[in-house]
A and B are shown apart, each in its own frame.
Chain A
Amino acid sequence: MNLDRRSFITGLAAVPLVAAIGGCGGNTGPRYNVEAPRVALAWIKNVEYAGLFIADHLNYYKAEGMTPNFLSGGPNSPMPSVNVSAGNAQIGFDNDFRRFMDAVLLGNDLVIVGAQYQRSPGGIISLAKRPILTPEDLVGSRFLGQDGVETIVDAVLTMAGLPIEYDYFPAGYSVAALVEGQGDAYSAFAVNQPITLQREYGMEEGKDFFFISWAELGLAGYGNMMFCKREFLETEFDTVVGFLRATIKGWYYNADNPNLAPKLVLDGPGKDLGLEIEQQRIQNKIQLEYMHSAITAEKGIFWIDPEDVELNMYPSLRATGRTNLPPAAEVFDTRALEAAYEKITLPLTSRTGMG
């Protein structure tokens, strides 16, 4: 090949550049600091993570030898699974069961080690003039949703064998668009927007507005699932267990002292988020409901059940085309929970009234 001077110089310039890139990616040692694990949250730093902030405040994490660094989630931040896959965080909380499983199916070897919400509080709010209570009601509706919700609505309709016919409008996280009549349905969290409707608009649930969860529409799934890379679980098992144990203790403390977390959040992590203490108090109370189930009564909060996943959560994934799912026990790993509960004394559990 005939090289002229310019292309030769170009080529020369490229060599160290590529070598430099190779250099930074080449080292295979741990790139993380187990004393300060980075934790990617699925939502903004509000009372949704009450247990974590309490565990931090009461030095439960310090007792396990770590000071976690919480990365805020929510609008315009990377998805927790992306953050963990990229190595930007070691532990993540994911609120979207379907999207999480899609990440796994795309070759991310992620494991769920616990679940904050036994049932996802996600669902649909509608108003009395056009209630949406069944998948059939969705057909022909005007749907106000946020990033990622369109896929969920499509899944509900597919599951129910209905045509995917509705108008989708991208809306924000304020329920105002629904109240102003820009749509018939609004995707929301039971622990968030219904409180706004009651407090700010004076509406009554079951009369002026309705909430139906995705689970009731055929898509069961956990919420705020705690996960990490499989490699991290295997190599840093004690870190995962320590974090999980401190987190669980924080949540139990929260159940006994529900007024502490709203105060902590407003004074610290959520100071600049424009949160309202009363709204946060109500949210903290409502979310406790979502944290327990038959299995947590027996085993403790955060418990996950691969069998339940296989029986009740996988079918909707299969029905929407995800046929090559790994066995649930491979993705939902209870070893960390078992190890964490070994050192959590029972009186704590029984005192809370959650057990």
Chain B
Amino acid sequence: MDQLKQFWSRYWGVLLLLVIWQSLITMNNLNTIVAPSPHAVVLALVNEAEFFAAEASRTALTATGGLALGLILGFTMACLSWAAPAMSGLLTPVALLIRSIPIVAFVPIIVRIAGYGTHTVLIVTTFLSFFPCYVFALSGFQEVAQIRKDVCTSLGCSTRGFNGWRFFRYVAMPSAVPNILTALRLLAPMAILVALVAEFLIGSDGLGYVMIRARSDMQMDKSWAAALLASALSIMFFVIFSWLDTKYRKNWQT
């Protein structure tokens, strides 16, 4: 009973939304091609649970892959920028440029270069994840507490350039970990969104593709079910990375 109460007090907003959704459809007598009822959407999810699970895992996998590749790329570039500030002059404008192009405009350009397919969705997600990882990591490297820098200098350790790799490895890199965790927490739900948009526009599988294909076939319940699942996935990603953030941040912060 207590659990039920807790559930109610925490999720009443969601339940209210469901009630409003269902009432709007019942009272306006809307056909499923206009808007399916929550009941129909849940039914679509349950009836094709296996299909949806497979498509959702595809989207999750692409988003995770893009996130991981973006992190590796962003981290590597940040390392290079730290070691050779001249690199930063080259990389920052490029990174900014990529970031300022809207994804819907970005996708057709990538398609022209890389062709259609899941690999293109992966490339798009990677590109979009790259920039925040790069910026957060670089600023983490650069924000080493002055006192630590002083200690290293007094011990005769270089704190910049390629000669300072030991300083980088033992001081700068660990101090950037909280920043990278923040970047991931912010990026995780976005990676799902980007993967979805790319699948929607150019993909041939994944939840984004299911959304558009079902819509063209007038199976709105299926289309909305995919959208619902995508939101759940996005929330799940946020929760996982928030948890990682709070769990590991302490280890690296002073």
Q: A residues engaging B (CB < 8 A)?
A: 2, 4, 6-7, 10, 14, 17-18, 21-22, 24-26, 79, 81-82, 85-86, 99, 102-103, 106-108, 147-151, 167-170, 172, 182
Contacts and interface: CB of A to CB of B under 8 A. Distances in A.
Interface in B126-182: none
Interface string B23-38: 1100111111110000
Contact of A85 (B23, B34, B203): B34
Contacts of A24: 27-28
Interface stretch (B8-16, B90-98, B229-237): B8-16
Contact of B27 (A4, A25, A148, A182): A25
B16 to A, nearest CB: 6
B43 interface: no
Given A7-B9, A18-B19, A102-B218, 5 more contacts: A4-B9, A25-B24, A106-B31, A106-B218, A182-B116
Nearest to B1: A2
Interface residues of B, number: 31
B16 A10 contact: yes
Nearest to A6: B9
Interface stretch (B74-82, B185-193, B209-217): B209-217
A17 B20 contact: yes
B40 to A, nearest CB: 11
A22 B213 contact: no
A151 B216 contact: yes
Contact of B33 (A22, A25, A82): A82
B24 A170 contact: no
A102 B215 CA distance: 12
Contact of A86 (B30, B213, B217): B30
A88 B100 CA distance: 36
A103 B215 CA distance: 12
Nearest to A9: B12
Interface string B89-116: 0000000000000000000100000011
B204 interface: yes
Contacts, number: 80
Nearest to B203: A170
A21 B27 contact: yes
B interface SS class: helix
Contact of A22 (B27, B31, B201, B217): B27
15 contacts: A4-B5, A21-B27, A22-B27, A24-B28, A85-B34, A86-B34, A99-B216, A103-B31, A107-B31, A147-B212, A147-B215, A148-B216, A167-B204, A169-B204, A170-B212
Nearest to B215: A147
A14 B8 contact: no
Closest 10 CB pairs of A and B: A25-B27, A148-B216, A25-B28, A86-B34, A169-B116, A102-B218, A10-B12, A85-B31, A108-B31, A21-B23
B202 interface: yes
Contacts of B29: 25
Contacts of A14: 16, 19
B223 to A, nearest CB: 12
Given A18-B19, A150-B213, A26 B27 contact: yes
Contacts of A82: 33-34
Nearest to A96: B216
A86 B28 CA distance: 9
Nearest to A21: B23
A21 B24 contact: yes
Contact of A21 (B20, B213, B218): B20
A150 B19 CA distance: 35
Nearest to B202: A170
A233 B162 CA distance: 80
A82 B116 CA distance: 30
B43 to A, nearest CB: 15
Contacts of B204: 167-169
B28 A170 contact: no
Interface centre among B12, B20, B24, B218 (most CB of A within 10 A): B218
Nearest to B24: A21
Contacts of A148: 216-217
A168 B20 CA distance: 39
A73 B29 CA distance: 24
